[in-house]
Structure formats: C-alpha cells, structure tokens
C-alpha cells in the first residue's frame, strides 16, 4: 500500500476540462479559465495550477477532476504529483 499523504479539503478544488481543451479551475471560490490544444494539455495546466496552490500552502490538496471521460476525486501534492483519493471514489459526487 502507498504512503499516507497529508491533505486537506480546504480550499475546495474543482476542475473541469472540456473536450475542446478549455478548462475551468475553482480553488476556494477563485475561478481561473485556461485553454490548451487538447484535453491532455488542459489537464496538465490544471494540475500545474493546483500543484502551485498546494506548494504555496505547504500541503497536498483534495480535488475533484472532471473531464469528458468522467470525474475523479484526487490528491494533488505540492510537487504536482497526483494520486486517486480512493476513499471518495465510490460514494461521493461533486455538489
């Protein structure tokens, strides 16, 4: 089993990536829009932005990632790495 990751649900982080490569990131009520040439590029920009916020706070953040393939609860670490937030995968959705 992987190592324990200290994370927090504040600020609330929800990111939505559209099929055309547009993305909207909501971090604690601050909304940022970005555009990339593809879904993959938009995902990378979203992860970079959330990772920067995690680094500023000095801890990992819980986030909901939504894209054309579905939605996933994840943990984004300050170094930008992402892992599944398994405890939320089967029973919770995005408000």
Convert the pLDDT of each residue in 53-63 to its tens digit.
Answer: 999 999 999 99
Per the listing, tokens 């932005």 go with: 49
65 bridge partner residues: 15, 72
Consecutive H or E run containing 34: strand 30-35
**Residue 1 in this model has a pLDDT that exceeds 90:** no
How far apart (Å, rounded) are the C-alpha atoms in residues 59 and 46? 17
Dump pLDDT digits (tens) for 55-86: 999 999 999 999 999 999 999 999 999 999 87
Lookup: tokens for 93:
């959705």
Dump pLDDT digits (tens) for 19-46: 999 999 999 999 999 999 999 999 999 9
Lookup: tokens for 84:
């599944």
């Amino acid at each position: 089993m992987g190592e324990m990751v200290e994370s927090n649900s504040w600020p609330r982080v929800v990111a939505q990536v559209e099929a055309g490569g547009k993305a909207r990131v909501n971090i604690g009520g601050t909304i940022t829009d970005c555009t990339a040439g593809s879904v993959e590029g938009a995902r990378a920009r979203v992860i970079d932005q959330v990772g920067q916020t995690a680094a500023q706070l000095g801890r990992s953040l819980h986030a909901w990632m939504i894209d054309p393939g579905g939605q996933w609860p994840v943990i984004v670490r300050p170094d930008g790495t992402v892992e599944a937030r398994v405890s939320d995968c089967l029973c919770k959705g995005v408000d």
